[in-house]
């Protein structure tokens, strides 16, 4: 989980280092996803491919990796491969616990392809389906093409409002607990 937090903070080098150590001791589907995510953001597409291939051998029924394949394809200027990954995701759409991360990955693919409206649709879905994470959305380098879009800015404002609300709730709880 700490590797995921470092990735959310944009510290992909630390995320990768943490996940390498963690998955060497006890491989798990999420840790390998996080590791490949970090490798991609650091430009190590070949390493990410290897991580994903290993993950698919160990966890063949986990649906986390098609979005990462699509991101790798689009970063290699393989629009057809990226489209194939999106098609596979749509065909095998699953309501599993981390599908919002796959939706986030599809938003990255579509943003990189310049399909901003579709990217924002997938991104809003990821946020509403369980990933309302302002630092991840705001800090995602592949969302650069979306940053000037009014719908992206509205989503960021919404996420800031959610963050501020929960910050206030936390402060109120902390104050009430510490007064005992």
Please give the distance of CA 177 from its chain centroid, rounded to a whole number: 34
- 153-169 tens-digit pLDDT: 999 999 999 999 999 99
How far apart (Å, rounded) are the C-alpha atoms in residues 39 and 145? 21
CATH of the domain at 43: 1.25.40.10
- 77-99 tens-digit pLDDT: 999 999 999 999 998 776 566 88
Report the predicted TM-score, pTM, of the whole model to 2 decimal places.
0.90
CB-based contacts of 61, cutoff 8 Å, min separation 6: none
Q: How many domains does the chain have?
A: 1
According to the model, what pLDDT value does residue 95 have? 57
Among all chains, which residue has been given the structure tokens 């995602």? 140
According to the model, what pLDDT value does residue 57 have? 94
Domain hosting 27: range is 2-178
Q: Is 154 helix (H, G, I), strand (E, B) or coil?
A: helix
Banded model confidence at residue 180, pLDDT cuts 50, 70, 90: low
């Amino acid at each position: 989980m700490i590797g995921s937090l470092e990735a959310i903070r944009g510290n992909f080098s630390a995320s990768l280092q943490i996940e390498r150590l963690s998955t060497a001791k006890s491989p798990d589907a999420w840790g390998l996803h996080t590791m490949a995510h970090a490798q991609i953001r650091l430009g190590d597409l070949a390493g990410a491919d290897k991580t994903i291939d290993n993950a698919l051998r160990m966890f063949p029924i986990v649906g986390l990796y098609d979005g990462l394949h699509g991101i790798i394809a689009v970063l290699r200027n393989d629009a057809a491969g990226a489209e194939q990954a999106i098609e596979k995701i749509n065909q095998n759409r699953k309501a599993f616990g981390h599908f919002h991360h796959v939706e986030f990955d599809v938003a990255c693919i579509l943003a990189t392809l310049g399909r901003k409206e579709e990217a924002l649709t997938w991104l809003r879905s990821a946020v509403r389906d369980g990933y309302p994470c302002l630092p991840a959305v705001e800090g995602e380098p592949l969302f650069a093409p979306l940053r000037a879009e009014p719908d992206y800015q509205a989503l960021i404002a919404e996420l800031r409002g959610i963050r501020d609300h929960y910050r206030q709730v936390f402060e109120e709880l902390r104050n009430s607990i510490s007064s005992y």
